[in-house]
Chain A
Amino acid sequence: MDENFIFIWHVLVSGVVTGCFYALIGMSMVLIYKTSKVINLCQGELTMLGGYVCFSIISFTGIHFLIAFSITLFAVFLIGILVERTILRPLLGESPIAILMVTIGMANILGGVVGLIWGADSKAFPLILSPSSIVLVIIVVSVSLVLIFLGFFKFSIIGISMRSVASDQQASLALGVSIKKTLIIAWGLSAVLSAAAGIFMGNLSGLNLSVKIYGLKALAPMILGGLDSVAGAVLGGFIVGVTEVLGDTYISDIIGGSISDSIAFFIIIVVLIIKPYGIFGTEEIERI
């Protein structure tokens, strides 16, 4: 094969992998936004926490990766519930500013705790597969996770109640949907999704404290897909991931600095100028 072609192929695959991370984190943020109209700015910290918890379980007990993976997802589910229960519940019904700020506060707490426990130096996961097959596994697992969750929203009772809470809290309350329970499950599941992304990141390139910036960068797929569209966040995630890697490969040399952390934010601005409600987002029409 042509060398140039192989290079482009590598770039694209790496873009798709980054896209998987974005899709998972973006989806978890949309999940929270849909149910509680909160933009969660501590998602990056939850991602990071998931990766570190899995790393610790593996390195302390030495059990198989898959078992550690499932234990981590369960633990992070509980952490997500804890976050909702302790800091979000008292602010139920408060202004969006207060809730956005409380997630920033939570981001600080979680980031500090992670730094306190695991320190600033990078942590590498023990290799279980060769790097190229890890990439394949990550893509397959992420895509199937995304599909499972899409089906979950579409068909399961909990998923349907989540969507009903998202569209009208009062009506769903009248129909016997417990909003508090739905919110708790949404936060738990969202933590699970982003923790999965964190674990994959750890397997691919090791963990450090800068992973948390993905929580902010994932706003780009969220806005691109439309704030309240799960499928949009997934599509947006892959678009942003590929764009980021392509941009990093071809533009960084021209500018003379790594732009991989800025492209996502550039996309946010462009989307807000061209199509503020994103690809699939519902345009808000207010009735007076």
Chain B
Amino acid sequence: MAEFCGHKKSTYQEDQAIFPTRFRRNLLIAFLCFTIFFPFLGFGYLQYLAIIIGITIIAALGINILTGFTGLISLGHAAFVGVGAYSSALLVSKLGFPFWLALPVAGVIASIIGIIFGLPSLRVKGLYLAMATLAAQVLLNFLMFNWKSLTGGVDGYVVPTARIGPIVFDTDNKYYYLVLAMVLIAALSAKQLFRSKNGRAYIAIRDRDIAAEVIGISLFKYKLQSFAVSSFYAGVAGSLLGHYLSVITPENFTLTLSINYLAIVIIGGMGTILGSIIGSFFIILLPEFLNIIIRHLGDIFPYLALSMFYMKMILFGLIIVGFLIFEPKGLAEIYQRIKKYFKLWPYAY
């Protein structure tokens, strides 16, 4: 008997599955195997980058929940990452919290601070949250710089090494697995969130807020909730970042980083979990590629190395503008298109 082409779904379970096809499951397993064996390949610097990418993915998932799924924009995500980093560091070193407890508590503190700033602007529609979070970014950064007794100011704050029970995360290898586990938890729970009632409410608000309100979704409640979840992700990412860097300064959490997170969401793809992951890889690896290119060209054109900072800035701007104009759904959409092309390859129909 001839098999039908394509993937048939005969139950609701299959229809709602997180990874609906066997190919995607296998691809995921293959990718996971690769990530697990990655440290054994012995790339020193690449492993550092992998850890930073992992932490960025968690933060980017947070801002994607807010911007990509709920349709609100935050210009202060880096500040909430910073709040997470500082509160986790202070909890562990001053109050003697164990790391496994400080990590979620840092997330909770970040979301409480987020709510304090987001509350007034979420009552009104429009781009007010963008401005409130911009203000939060500047004011929180100002506090980090100037509340010297708490944060150490520009000199930085020394964060104790993370430890869970007998395991001390003092090497890159150990920390890599910690971050990997956290990324998996973060990505899967974000994926799960959008199969639940609350996540669907966020999407409804993004797509048409008036219609959502009419069918009984409380705009204020769900917007606030989405903002709190987003800040929680930021806080967790900040905690991981702080314990990894071991010295944090206010310069780690400036407006530039906030814009970077937004760029990740735009470039990766708004409203897709995959987009946050691809976008994080892109934004972290892009400057590294540029550094390599400029290092090689720098011998020939010495002026280039001097102006590298500005060149990066222009390129970064061009990429954001280019993606918004030509590829508004981001890299995730390009991936889907390639997949669709090869699904039917070599026949066009």
Show the binding face of A for B, using Cβ within 8 Å. 39, 87, 90-91, 94-98, 100-102, 104-113, 115-116, 216, 219, 223, 227, 255-257, 259, 261-262, 265-266, 268-269, 272-273, 276-277, 284, 286, 288
- Residues on B with beta carbons closer than 8 Å to the beta carbon of A256: 146
Q: With A102-B325, A276-B120 given, is the CB distance from A116 to B307 under 8 Å?
A: yes
Q: Contact flags (1/0) for B302-330 with A, using CB distance below 8 Å?
A: 00000101111111111111001100100
- Report whether A288 and B214 are in contact in the complex, using a CB–CB cutoff of 8 Å: yes
Cα A113 to Cα B315 in complex, Å, equals 10
Cα A256 to Cα B67 in complex, Å, equals 36
Cα A113 to Cα B214 in complex, Å, equals 48
- Report whether B131 and A39 are in contact in the complex, using a CB–CB cutoff of 8 Å: yes
Cα A127 to Cα B307 in complex, Å, equals 30
Expressed in whole angstroms, the minimum distance between the Cβ of A225 and any Cβ of chain B is 13
Query: Does B134 make an interface contact (CB < 8 A)?
Result: yes
Cα A216 to Cα B120 in complex, Å, equals 19
Query: Does B242 make an interface contact (CB < 8 A)?
Result: no
- Residues on A with beta carbons closer than 8 Å to the beta carbon of B136: 269
- Residues on A with beta carbons closer than 8 Å to the beta carbon of B142: 257, 259, 261-262
- Report whether A106 and B138 are in contact in the complex, using a CB–CB cutoff of 8 Å: no
Interface of A is mostly: helix
- Report whether B314 and A108 are in contact in the complex, using a CB–CB cutoff of 8 Å: yes
Q: With A105-B324, A262-B138, A262-B142 given, is the CB distance from A272 to B309 under 8 Å?
A: no
Q: Identify which of B18-26, B43-51, B106-114, B121-129 touches chain A.
A: B121-129
- Report whether B317 and A97 are in contact in the complex, using a CB–CB cutoff of 8 Å: no
- The contact of A272 among B120, B262, B313, B314, by CB within 8 Å, is B120
Query: Does B145 make an interface contact (CB < 8 A)?
Result: yes
With CB as the reference atom, state the residue of chain A lying closest to B314. A112
Query: Does B132 make an interface contact (CB < 8 A)?
Result: yes
Cα A106 to Cα B127 in complex, Å, equals 18
- The contact of B320 among A104, A261, A277, by CB within 8 Å, is A104
Q: With A105-B317, A116-B307, A265-B135 given, is the CB distance from A100 to B73 under 8 Å?
A: yes
